[in-house]
């Protein structure tokens, strides 16, 4: 999988708002992404602090091609100004980034709870857009699990400092006691609603403005406030002391000209504007007007960061959880992507050796008894394991490595694995059912590397057909050491 996008860490708000993708624009973006043959799956995570596309290639596709296609899709939305700020990660790095995001380790406010809900929404929207497949589906579900573990197994979310709480603290610094003060919630948004509730708790009277009268009534009820339509914005700004902008408008709704008109009726009273929207709801030049105090998301974030230094120890514990889960996911990916190749390699090698042995049994070695033939079969198994030990170990070590795809393709080409006839070679279970093969893969070590390989290779016996041809050879498993982590072909670990 890959991730391409930008966040508060890589781009200022003036750039982020150019790429902001509102909910109603997501279907079109998913259509654009999936129309590219280099993208097989996609999940778009769009918040006020980040816009990221997680993508996976189709079967046989490359991560590099998927990254380029995803960059192209985002560049078409934001233009050159956005492209130069886009970052990308591939393979294991992309997985770790996703898990850090889900754990709020990459958030403006480390430990904030909103991101997990936003990620769940993104997953559901991707599913609705038929953009969620096996790879991203597994990654996203594990990311949610990682986020929950980080909050339940560490104290990263305790003593919460948030953008909303900082906004209220600043309002109290400007106005002192907020009892009796008036505040307007312009639009709707999780952080803005949280700030409105904190202001109401501090004694402020809340006015809720929304394009939807029904939505305005619901929000007003939650904060014991007064609902109004957006057409009353100018009148409301003339009355309130604090206004929180959180609409989904692509252009500012609170302009310099609007505030200039409002200042005339306010007669010198201070106006505190909190702009939590991306794209921004308030024109930045408003901050140059006397008696107007404007704070946007980036301003509030800098203040928040200064308050979070004491959370470093809990963040380190959460990072350890991320690393543990990332290694587990890489192991699943290894089993899914490399097992068919490894099984094919063993099948191919065995087929050649056993075919030659069968010819010898029918010719020069036909005088051998059952015990001698069994000894030769054991030798074939031992030779196969020793011959393939080094290349198989190397393949296993490539989990999450960008070079893995090239190595797998080379193995398929060099050993002509696609030419193996399924009806010529059958790996059979004890119940006689045919499977593609069984390989026990190593579990990750504590240092993040795979432990020494421990492949369980079914020992073979040969049963000559009446035709006496190599194609009639049947490999029957007699191994009794198979573990629960054995996989058949590309079997999902679940």
Domains of the chain, by residue range, sit at 2-153, 163-306, 329-488
pLDDT of residue 109: 77
188 is in an annotated binding site: yes
Instruction: Tell me how far apart the alpha carbons of residues 71 and 39 are, in angstroms, rounded to a whole number.
Output: 11
CA dist list (Å): 195 to 125, 183, 225, 291, 359: 26, 10, 13, 22, 81
pLDDT of residue 278: 84
Query: Quick check: helix, strand or coil at residue 227?
Result: strand
Instruction: Tell me how far apart the alpha carbons of residues 279 and 25 are, in angstroms, rounded to a whole number.
Output: 14
49 is in an annotated binding site: yes
Instruction: Tell me how far apart the alpha carbons of residues 204 and 194 are, in angstroms, rounded to a whole number.
Output: 14
- Angle at which helices 26-35 and 63-78 cross, to 10°: 140
Residue 115, class by beta-carbon neighbours within 10 Å (0-12 exposed, 13-18 middle, 19+ buried)? buried
48 is in an annotated binding site: yes
Residue 408 in contact with residue 395, Cβ under 8 Å? yes
325 is in an annotated binding site: no
310 is in an annotated binding site: no
Catalytic residue set = 48
- According to CATH, the topology of domain 2-153 is Beta Polymerase; domain 2 (3.30.460)
- pLDDT beneath 70, residues of the chain: 159-161, 305-311, 399-402, 404-405, 418-494
pLDDT of residue 475: 32
391 is in an annotated binding site: no
Terminal-to-terminal C-alpha distance of the chain = 18
- CATH number for the domain formed by residue range(s) 163-306: 3.40.50.720
CA dist list (Å): 117 to 101, 131, 190, 322, 452: 12, 19, 10, 18, 39
According to DSSP H, which parts of 176-311 are helical?
190-201, 213-222, 233-239, 256-266, 297-306
287 is in an annotated binding site: no
413-471 confidence digits (pLDDT tens): 888 876 543 333 333 333 333 323 333 433 334 343 333 333 333 343 333 333 333 33
480 is in an annotated binding site: no
50 is in an annotated binding site: yes
314 is in an annotated binding site: no
Comparing CA positions, the residue from 353, 486, 340 lying closest to residue 411 is 340
Instruction: Tell me how far apart the alpha carbons of residues 360 and 402 are, in angstroms, rounded to a whole number.
Output: 44
pLDDT of residue 159: 62
DSSP result, 344-377:
HHHHHHHHHHHHHHHHHHHTTTTT--HHHHHHHH
Comparing CA positions, the residue from 254, 181, 246 lying closest to residue 216 is 246
447 is in an annotated binding site: no
Residue indicated by tokens 């708000």: 13
pLDDT of residue 87: 93
189 is in an annotated binding site: yes
Instruction: Tell me how far apart the alpha carbons of residues 464 and 472 are, in angstroms, rounded to a whole number.
Output: 7
Give the Cβ contact number of residue 46 at 10 Å. Answer: 23
pLDDT of residue 401: 62
């Amino acid at each position: 999988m890959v991730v391409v996008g930008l966040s508060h860490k890589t781009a200022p708000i003036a750039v982020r708002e150019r790429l902001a993708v509102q909910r109603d624009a997501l279907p079109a973006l998913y259509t654009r992404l999936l129309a590219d043959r280099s993208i097989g799956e996609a999940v778009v995570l769009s918040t006020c602090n980040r816009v990221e596309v997680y993508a996976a290639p189709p079967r046989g596709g490359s991560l590099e091609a998927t990254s380029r296609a995803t960059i192209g899709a985002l560049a078409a939305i934001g233009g050159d100004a956005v492209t130069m700020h886009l970052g990308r990660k591939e393979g294991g790095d992309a997985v770790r980034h996703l898990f850090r995001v889900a754990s709020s380790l990459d958030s403006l406010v480390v430990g904030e709870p909103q991101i997990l809900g936003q990620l769940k929404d993104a997953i559901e929207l991707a599913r609705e857009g038929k953009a969620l497949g096996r790879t991203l589906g597994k990654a996203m579900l594990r990311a949610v699990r990682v986020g929950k573990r980080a909050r339940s197994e560490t104290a990263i979310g305790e003593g919460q400092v948030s953008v909303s709480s900082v906004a209220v603290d600043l309002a109290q610094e400007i106005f002192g006691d907020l009892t009796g003060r008036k505040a307007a919630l312009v639009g709707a948004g999780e952080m803005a609603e949280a700030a409105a509730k904190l202001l109401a708790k501090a004694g402020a009277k809340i006015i809720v403005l929304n394009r939807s009268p029904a939505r305005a009534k619901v929000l007003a009820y939650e904060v014991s406030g007064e609902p109004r339509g957006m057409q009353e914005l100018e009148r409301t700004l003339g009355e309130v002391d604090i206004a929180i902008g959180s609409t989904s408008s692509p252009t500012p709704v609170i302009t310099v000209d609007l505030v200039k008109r409002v200042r005339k009726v306010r007669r010198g009273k201070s106006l505190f504007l909190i702009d939590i929207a991306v794209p921004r709801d308030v024109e930045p030049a408003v901050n140059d007007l006397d008696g107007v105090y404007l704070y946007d998301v980036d301003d509030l974030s800098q203040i928040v960061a200064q308050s979070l230094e004491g959370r470093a120890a809990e963040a380190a514990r959460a990072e350890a959880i991320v690393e543990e889960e990332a290694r587990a996911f890489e192991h699943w990916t290894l089993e899914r992507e490399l097992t068919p190749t490894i099984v094919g390699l063993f099948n191919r090698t065995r087929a050649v050796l056993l075919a030659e042995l069968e010819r010898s049994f029918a010719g020069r070695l036909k005088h051998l008894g059952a015990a001698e033939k069994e000894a030769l079969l054991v030798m074939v198994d031992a030779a196969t394991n020793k011959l393939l030990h080094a290349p198989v170990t190397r393949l296993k070590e490539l989990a999450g490595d960008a070079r893995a795809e090239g190595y797998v393709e080379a193995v398929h080409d060099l050993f002509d694995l696609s030419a193996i006839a399924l009806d010529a070679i059958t790996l059979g279970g004890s119940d006689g059912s045919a499977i593609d093969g069984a390989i026990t893969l190593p579990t990750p070590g504590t240092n993040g590397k795979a432990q020494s390989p421990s492949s369980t290779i079914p020992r073979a016996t040969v049963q000559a057909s009446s035709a006496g041809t190599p194609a009639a050879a049947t490999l029957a498993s007699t191994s009794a050491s198979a573990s629960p982590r054995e996989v058949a072909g590309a079997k999902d670990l679940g």
